Amino acid sequence: MSEDTRRVLLVAAVLVLLVAAVLAFWRRHESLRPQLLQAAVVFWVEGEEWASDDVGPRQPQERVWAGVLLQFRQGKKPARFLCPFPKVRWQGQELHPEPLAAWPSAYGFLKAQWFTLEPAFFGWEGVNAGSADKLAYGEFAAPEMGSELKAPVTSEAHNDDFLTQPVAGNTLIGGVTRFKVKVGAYARPQDLLPWASVSSPGAREVAEVPALWRLAEVPEGVNPRVSLAFRRGVFSFAPGVWPEGGPGWPLPLSPRELVVRHLIMTPQAVAALAAVGDPLAEPWGPPQRLVVGDGLWLSEGGRPLRWRNDVLPGDAVSWSGRWAVLWADDGNGTLDFPDTVLLAWMQPPRLLTLGEVAAATRSLELRRVVRGAP
């Protein structure tokens, strides 16, 4: 065998070995490429030890963060959890996930897209089996939360972004917030598409999505659980549909169950929450008719009504299917047009004056809460 032939064979052998080594490396690299298994949203309140999928009711001033609990696996290795929070209570388990820096950097990096889960419709009158889709939730992009796997929770609503100004009820402080997050694994920072992604439960599974409930400042006498109704759509139902849905009801939850889980509201449910904290309660005495006077509301006999004596915050007035919770006196002690009520009708509950109510109706039914009953 000539010298040249030996050289050629040597080079060929080296090339074969190099190719084999590259293929072996590539196969191992691909065999360990992370599989994104699931993502979940958890909350952490600054100053507390544990993050959780249920942090309970929080005060408006508390700073809360949303974070991703990400589960992935490499090859046949055990599944691993990553999270920006070192201690997490999730689905009844106490977890100690690895930090986000433990993501295998050879496979790029992780980015998040955050969405709020909010009512797709603000309200609807006479919902039946054929219009039950109006009770659905939508997924709304929340770009202000950035692309990190940890973001401060804001109170910004997005289901009214298409309007020139926010829906009045969406400006109230407090209420329930739910999020969906989509986590993508990107090979390079400039890539527009991830090579893999996984999402937490979204609008279709909204009843199972962890929620952050922020309390609101409410007048003395109004049950603080009324904030569970804030930013919820307000609906009424056709005869025979409330409470169980009736024949042909297409949703897995009945109207009553949707209200109990605070996913939707009816006008009366909002008033019941404000009265006693139970959306299905009926804590009112017999209705009393009120009529419009000269800038104030009068009893049917023409007598002005006094706060503390005749009405209290948390009592309600109703007309034509609408309910409004008596919220605050303007300071003169008389039930008059400048006084404030919380109206629940065809959009998230909102504050307005009794003068605005008088522009819509000339008579009301006063529903006084029966207090102090055994």
Q: Which long-range contacts (CB under 8 A, 24 or more apart) does 259-263 make?
A: 261/207, 262/176, 262/228, 262/229, 262/232, 263/135, 263/137, 263/206, 263/207, 263/232
Cross-strand pairs, 38? 71
The Cα–Cα gap between 289 and 318 comes to 10
Query: Each residue of 75-126: pLDDT tens digit?
Result: 889 999 999 999 999 999 999 999 999 999 999 999 999 999 999 999 999 9
Q: Return the residue matching tokens 């504050």.
A: 351
Peptide bond into 304 cis (omega under 30): no
pLDDT, position 27: 54
pLDDT, position 32: 52
Average of per-residue pLDDT across 35-44: 98
164, with CB counted inside 10 A (0-12, 13-18, 19+), is exposed
Q: How far is CA 329 from CA 52, 56, 312, in A?
A: 39, 31, 9
Average of per-residue pLDDT across 187-191: 89
pLDDT, position 155: 82
pLDDT, position 8: 55
The Cα–Cα gap between 233 and 348 comes to 5
Query: Each residue of 123-159: pLDDT tens digit?
Result: 999 999 999 999 999 999 999 999 999 999 988 899 9
Q: Which helix (H) or strand (E) holds 26?
A: helix 3-31
pLDDT, position 9: 56
Q: What is the pTM of this model?
A: 0.88
The Cα–Cα gap between 167 and 147 comes to 27
Tell me which residue of 168, 86, 110, 166 sits closest to 340, measured CA to CA.
168
pLDDT, position 29: 46
The Cα–Cα gap between 95 and 74 comes to 19
Query: Each residue of 192-247: pLDDT tens digit?
Result: 999 999 999 999 999 999 999 999 999 999 999 999 999 999 999 999 999 999 99
Q: Is 348 left (phi over 0), alpha (psi -120 to 50) or beta?
A: beta
Q: Judge whether 68 and 40 are in contact, CB under 8 Å.
A: yes
Average of per-residue pLDDT across 259-271: 98
pLDDT, position 33: 79
Average pLDDT score over the chain: 93
Asked whether the predicted pLDDT for residue 3 surpasses 90, the reply is no
Average of per-residue pLDDT across 6-12: 60
